[in-house]
Amino acid sequence: MSLLVIGGTGTLGRQIVLQALTKGYQVRCLVRNFRKAAFLKEWGVELVYGDLSRPETIPPCLKGITAVIDASTSRANELDSLKKVDWDGKLCLIDAAKTAKVKRFIFFSAQNAEQFNNIPLLKLKNGIEAKLQQSGIPYTIFRLTGFYQGLIEQYAIPILENLPIWVTNENTYISYMDTQDIAKFCLKALQITETENQTFFLSGSKAWVSSEIINLCEQLTDQKAKVQRVPLFILKFVSGFFGFFEWGQNISDRLAFAEILSTENNFSKSTFELYKTFKIDPSEIIQLDDYFLEYFIRLLKRLRDINFEDVQKQKNLVI
Ligand SMILES: NC(=O)c1ccc[n+]([C@@H]2O[C@H](COP(=O)([O-])OP(=O)(O)OC[C@H]3O[C@@H](n4cnc5c(N)ncnc54)[C@H](OP(=O)(O)O)[C@@H]3O)[C@@H](O)[C@H]2O)c1
């Protein structure tokens, strides 16, 4: 089976690529910058040039492809790319996949997307879900929660750098996931026919509230966090303010994401069924405490290595 991955350089996409290669799939990645994607080539991926904001570049990438895995989304720092990438580009991708008669199209949406039609990214995700469902292409849609990887920037780094951690007043439990585990579900979907033409809410096996994550980081780093609480209504106001301007749409979307995540998961009850369908034992899933522990251990080792290298350099200078 030959796979076309879009977004292979991204946080989730690279995990999908890595696991797909390990399982022996032929992997092609649609990328817009070969230099940035050089690491994928080193792993054994075939790179093809494509840019979702340039629709004419998409169809040639699908030649000989059996399944499409779309893990792409517009980058927050590319201000006018939201509609071009997450709507126009994706519509063109679906059309091209239909013409190429692909056997499966995997798309990543977001949890509670249907409740947030006022947020442009979520509205587009919702629209693409519908277009894919109507396309006649066998599909699997995963509605995702937040990634562990995002928590490093939100909690771990501010604690280490003695910077404030911004949290809302809501005490919402969220079942974050490691992208390695999301990738596991994604690749299982290719092998399990019951996942065809289905939409799944993907969530981790344990839900966390922000104060628990802060406590965990404090214990692991032996440092006290500086917590700044911002009421959700202020976040909504700031997000609305930016969204008023066209240039601010992307910023507004990212801020609004905090609002989406602060809406209680409605899928924790079905988690058991989900793991059963995908034949994944919940004990295989990486837990947040283990993820953070490994992160801090690796970081400490790196700091020790840098320190060691500095001492060696100084010794060499003295000699
Ligand atoms: N992060 C979360 O917490 C979260 C939560 C719910 C759902 N999701 C969804 O999960 C999926 C993966 O998210 P992620 O956080 O892993 O994404 P990410 O790290 O931001 O990566 C985005 C990917 O899309 C590619 N891309 C952007 N613009 C492109 C264009 N014009 N043409 C071709 N490729 C383009 C990027 O390529 P370059 O490297 O060239 O920029 C990159 O590979 C997305 O659909 C996202 O909406 C994410």
Residue 235: the pLDDT is 61
Residue type, 306: I
Q: Are 58 and 35 in contact (CB under 8 A)?
A: no
Which pLDDT belongs to residue 248? 47
In angstroms, what is the C-alpha Rg of the chain? 21
Q: What is the predicted pLDDT for the residue at 252?
A: 53
Q: Best substitution site from 11, 34, 54, 72 to test ligand 1's pocket, by max atoms within 8 Å of Cβ?
A: 72
pLDDT score for 255: 54
Query: What's residue 187's pLDDT?
Result: 98
Is the CB of residue 33 below 6 angstroms from any atom belonging to ligand 1? Answer: yes
Q: What pLDDT does residue 259 have?
A: 54
Say which residues have a Cβ less than 8 Å from residue 16's Cβ, sequence separation at least 6: 5, 8, 69, 71, 183, 186, 187
> What pLDDT is recorded for position 261?
54
CA 133 – CA 113 distance, rounded (Å): 15
Domain limits, the chain:
2-306
Binding site membership of 250 for ligand 1 (Cβ less than 6 Å):
no
Q: What is the dihedral of CA 152, 158, 160, 162, to 10 degrees?
A: -170
- pTM across the whole model: 0.89
Task: Specify the residue with its C-alpha closest to ligand 1, atom 3.
Answer: 146
**For residue 129, what pLDDT is reported?**
97
Q: Tens-of-pLDDT digits for all 319 residues of the chain?
A: 999 999 999 999 999 999 999 999 999 999 999 999 999 999 999 999 999 999 999 999 999 999 999 999 998 788 789 999 999 999 999 999 999 999 999 999 998 778 877 788 889 999 999 999 999 999 999 999 889 998 998 899 999 999 988 887 767 788 899 999 999 999 999 999 999 999 999 988 788 888 999 999 999 999 999 998 877 666 666 555 555 444 444 455 545 555 555 555 444 556 778 888 999 988 889 999 999 999 999 988 888 787 767 767 776 765 5
Q: Does the C-beta of 55 come closer than 6 Å to ligand 1?
A: no
Mention the CATH class of domain 2-306. alpha beta
Please state, in angstroms and as integers, the Cα–Cα distance from residue 33 to each residue in 9, 68, 248, 293, following that order: 10, 19, 25, 34
Q: Is 223 in the pocket of ligand 1 (CB under 6 A)?
A: no
